A = this chain, B = another copy of it.
């Protein structure tokens, strides 16, 4: 079943202990779409400038990603420059040029209307809510956000949380939304704000899913969580997009299955970690753009070996 993703398609300049790149295809929607494309058809809504040409288009085309929703406008694409020289766990932003992304107003092509799955990548929560409203018949909605929206746009964000099935964010973001330092209590508070499930990404330590059980008219009681490991890697070349690739593997697998059962959710967490582990092995989209499906299954088996008793 098709996933519709709304988010950024961008160019990144990167420096990491493994090297540097002046211009990589990047953006949350790009990483998400590539990762998800190995599991299910993907459709993208984004905005790019004149600098997005045939080479970039080809990266999507090779993975049969539907780009009819990528709007081309005069100007330059979103540009981000980041450094991981101090720590591979946290990007240091050296420059952000929003460019054409500044006036991004997502438009949903008629051909996308029948999408059953919706991923709201990290953009202004007002836009996230707007897209969600325009897609009333989707079966499942996942979303991401970041510290900027949590801090300065809390009210808008809270409206998005109400319409999300699964929120995928990192430890610091969960604790920031909940204003609570304990992860379990923070997860409970965030689940009380709307999402049915919360996937907390721990970077090199994997990810934990928390689930909410609601009785009618009551708050959320958190049930047994599920933790997927990350793969210990001898070299992390470029962490950019690891979280979006996790989300793509997670949601791509979910969308490829007939129903979101607890067992499917667990496997989806593993596929999320699998795709995240590939993403960081090369710069930008270099690794995710050209995986062989057998590599994905081999790594999934490796994750099982890494974490299972028998």
Interface set of A (CB-CB < 8 Å, partner B): 88, 181-185, 187-188, 202, 204-206, 208, 210, 224-227, 229, 232-236, 263, 266-267, 270, 302, 304-310
Contact = CB atoms under 8 A, between A and B. Distances in A.
A309 B266 CA distance: 6
Contacts of A204: 183
A208 B304 CA distance: 14
A170 to B, nearest CB: 13
A236 B304 CA distance: 29
Nearest to A17: B181
A17 to B, nearest CB: 8
Contact of A267 (B185, B263, B302, B309): B309
| Number of identical protomers | 2
A302 to B, nearest CB: 7
Nearest to A226: B306
B232 A229 contact: no
A106 to B, nearest CB: 35
B225 A232 contact: yes
Nearest to A269: B309
Contacts of A202: 205
Contact of A307 (B88, B181, B227, B233): B227
Contact of A225 (B181, B227, B304, B306): B306
A307 B310 contact: no
Nearest to A210: B232
Nearest to A234: B184
A205 B206 CA distance: 8
Contact of A232 (B181, B184, B266, B309): B184
A234 B180 CA distance: 11
Contacts of A224: 302, 305-306
Given A202-B205, A206-B205, A226 B307 contact: yes
A309 B182 contact: no
Name which of A187, A208, A233, A307 has the most chain B CB atoms within 10 A of its CB: A307
A263 B266 CA distance: 23
A236 B182 contact: yes
Contacts of A232: 183-184, 187, 208, 210, 225, 227
Nearest to A182: B234
